[in-house]
Amino acid sequence: MAYSDKVLDHYENPRNVGKLDEKDSTVGTGLVGAPACGDVMKLQIKVNDQGVIEDAKFKTFGCGSAIASSSLATEWIKGRSLDEAASIKNVEIAQHLSLPPVKIHCSMLAEDAIKAAVEDYRSKKQGEEKQKVSA
Amino acid sequence: MTSNNKRPIYMDYQATTPVDPRVFDEMKPYFMEKFGNAHSRTHLYGWEAEEAVEKARQQVADLIGAGSKEIIFTSGATESNNLALKGLAGFYGDKKKHIITVNTEHKCVLDSCRYLEREGFDVTYMHVQKNGLIDLEELKKALREDTLVVSVMTVNNEIGVIQPIKEIGAICRERSIFFHTDAAQAFGKIPLNVEDMNIDLMSISGHKIYGPKGVGALYVRRRPRVRLEAQINGGGQERGFRSGTLPTPLIVGLGKAAEIAGKEMQAENERLHYLSDKLYKGLTDNIPEVYLNGDAEHRIPGNLNLSFAYIEGESMLMAIRELAVSSGSACTSASLEPSYVLRALGVGDDLAHTSIRFGIGRFTTEEEVERAIEIVKNNVEKLRELSPLWDMAQEGIDINSIEWAHH
């Protein structure tokens, strides 16, 4: 299979590879996929007081398109608000990377990973709020 | 980026092999000057073509201890497997309705069996052990009064393991059950003898042994006689088993390839053992968590199927583009399922996705093996750095303990 230049670029030079401290209350972590299915994405966001994503990191077990999708996702969500990030659609990722139909699920996984990370951050915040109220 | 102007190093000899120049030289005259139809009995053109075909038939027969009249030329091992199984079923199917095969067979055997199931046959798909080999006791238990044929491949195409063919042959002969073996990956690679091994039918391929694509053969035993219902009807060529004008140049190529394979088998195997050991050691000594798929002893040297834990196969292929290899990863298959052969071994889906098959052969050089080790070594670290599963493993988290959302 021939890969698009953009997939190759992200694969060769993946952006934002790494991890953030999961225990940090300003960090949200999304872990989606399954090893048995051949792809697992871990995407993390660090959110500032204004609710803006100031940093994002990822690690992906998967094919080149999965790696490229998650790399692109971290690039796109940096500097965005949580709502903006969560509204990114897999179609946009797939179109940007010119993914062939068999690789669409890679972009869906990236969308899920963003949503899972945002969700994780929000539930952490909610937990904190509750603690504050009860204190 | 790796250089784009250089062709990748070919390490996919189980998929196909290049034609040996000596084979090609032998074939050449039969395209232009000696183009006759081997079935033309009335002139020189036919006679010389027939002579060439008969010589090739002998060359193929010699390599497996058969008589030349027992060799039927076909278009390849897929056709041979179809003819053997459907042919037997067609001829003996009234009385014998049971077929035994193995779940790691090539798709063309499994698919032929599925077809026969729809035609009313009963098929037992034997499981293999962790090492990819069948358990002979289990085979004995699977045999029935109405078992028509046992079909077990000699060498597996994905993992290179050699099944205990001689023992299977003895078990079948004792009970007068036909024994068919798909020897596409074995013929010309390891010594085979249809008498010693009690083989009744053997499928043979040309392009796996440095011969041309589009030609193969089926060995059909004459004593005790094996009958088949022809699957291609026509002029009654090939003792009526397979009609159609014989492709003389291809057959000449198959014959020559078989002759060379016979003469050079021992030396070639020694060389391939050396290269394969070097490749295996070079990879496993330098890279942690690399696992060999299939039995370590009972295997051909040209096939090294390895799982690189925590690195998905397709991303590995992408990283090592300088090598032409194949993978058991789902992403590289049309079905998006990981290799059914590796699953049959009990290799977890996660490891099946990380498998790479290195296939080396006649034209593989030591420099190429050294280069391959270097390329893989250099990329594994980078890819594991990218892998969340590798992180978890380093932190001591068992990835099987996590509840993954399967999608």
Q: Residue B194: which CATH number?
A: 3.40.640.10
**B248 and B347 fall within a common domain:** no
Cβ neighbours of A64 in B, within 8 Å: 314-315, 318
Question: Among the three residues B217, B245, B261, which one is the final residue of a domain in this structure?
Answer: B261
**pLDDT computed for residue B330 by the predictor:** 67
Mean pLDDT (whole number) for B67-71: 98
- The CA distance from A125 to B349, in Å, is 36
Does residue B377 lie in a domain region?
yes
pLDDT over 60 at B2, yes or no: no
For the stretch B124-176, pLDDT in tens is: 999 999 999 999 999 999 999 999 999 999 999 999 999 999 999 999 999 99
Over the Cα atoms of chain B, what is R_g?
22
Count each helix (H run) and each strand (E run) in chain A, helices first.
5, 3
Cα dihedral across residues B231, B236, B237, B243: positive or negative: negative
Count of domains forming chain B: 2
Least confident of A36-40, A129-133, B60-64, B299-303: A129-133
- Name the class of domain A5-120: alpha beta
Question: What's this model's pTM, rounded to 2 decimal places?
Answer: 0.92
**B321 and B247 fall within a common domain:** no
3-state secondary structure of A43: strand
Cβ–Cβ below 8 Å for A41 and B388: yes
**pLDDT computed for residue B3 by the predictor:** 46
Burial zone of B219 (CB within 10 Å; 0-12 exposed, 13-18 middle, 19+ buried): buried
Q: Is residue A37 annotated as a catalytic residue, yes or no?
A: yes
Alpha-carbon gap: A34 to the closest alpha carbon of chain B (Å): 5
For the stretch A65-97, pLDDT in tens is: 999 999 999 999 999 999 999 999 999 999 999
Alpha-carbon gap: B334 to the closest alpha carbon of chain A (Å): 9
**B389 and B272 fall within a common domain:** yes
- The CA distance from B225 to B204, in Å, is 19
Catalytic residue from among A106, A109, A113, A114? A106
- The CA distance from A70 to A58, in Å, is 7
Residue segments in chain A with a per-residue pLDDT below the cut of 50: none
**pLDDT computed for residue A6 by the predictor:** 95
Contact A119, A90 (CB under 8 A): no
Does residue B58 lie in a domain region?
yes
Cβ–Cβ below 8 Å for A37 and B314: no
Mean pLDDT (whole number) for B77-100: 98
Question: Among the three residues B261, B293, B325, which one is the final residue of a domain in this structure?
Answer: B261
Q: Which of A32, A34, A38 sits opposite B329 (nearest CB)?
A: A38
For the stretch B310-369, pLDDT in tens is: 999 999 999 999 999 998 876 666 666 788 999 999 988 888 899 999 999 999 999 999
Contact B182, B154 (CB under 8 A): yes
**B273 and B256 fall within a common domain:** no
User: Could you tell me the residue range of the domain that residue B380 belongs to?
Assistant: 9-15+266-395
Contact A28, A44 (CB under 8 A): yes
**Which residue in A75, A44, A64, A71 sits closest to A2, CA to CA?**
A64
Residue B1's pLDDT band, with cuts at 50, 70 and 90, is very low
Mean pLDDT (whole number) for B230-234: 96
Cβ neighbours of A63 in B, within 8 Å: 312, 314-315, 318, 329, 331
Q: Residue B353: which CATH number?
A: 3.90.1150.10
**pLDDT computed for residue B161 by the predictor:** 98
With an 8 Å Cβ cutoff, the interface of chain A facing chain B consists of 3, 11-12, 14, 17, 19, 31-42, 59-64, 66-67, 102, 105, 109
Domain boundaries defined on chain A: 5-120
Question: Among the three residues B198, B233, B261, which one is the final residue of a domain in this structure?
Answer: B261
Exposure pattern of B59-85 as b/e (b: 16+ CB <10 Å)? bbbbbbebeeebbbbbbbbbbbbbbbb
Which secondary structure element, helix H or strand E, spans residue B159, and what is its range? none
Does residue B236 lie in a domain region?
yes
Contact B312, A63 (CB under 8 A): yes
**B272 and B160 fall within a common domain:** no
Least confident of B4-8, B236-240, B279-283, B396-400: B4-8
For the stretch B183-226, pLDDT in tens is: 999 999 999 999 999 999 999 999 999 999 999 999 999 999 99
Q: Which residues pair with B336 in a beta bridge?
A: none
Cβ neighbours of A109 in B, within 8 Å: 407
Which residues of B are known to be catalytic? 331
Give residue B26's identity as a one-letter amino acid code.
E
Residue B399's pLDDT band, with cuts at 50, 70 and 90, is confident
Contact B347, B331 (CB under 8 A): no
In DSSP notation, B303-350 reads EEEEEETTS-HHHHHHHTTTEE-EE--GGGSTTS---HHHHHTT--HH
Look at strands B147-151 and B178-182 and give their pairing.
parallel
Cβ–Cβ below 8 Å for A35 and B386: no
Does residue B322 lie in a domain region?
yes
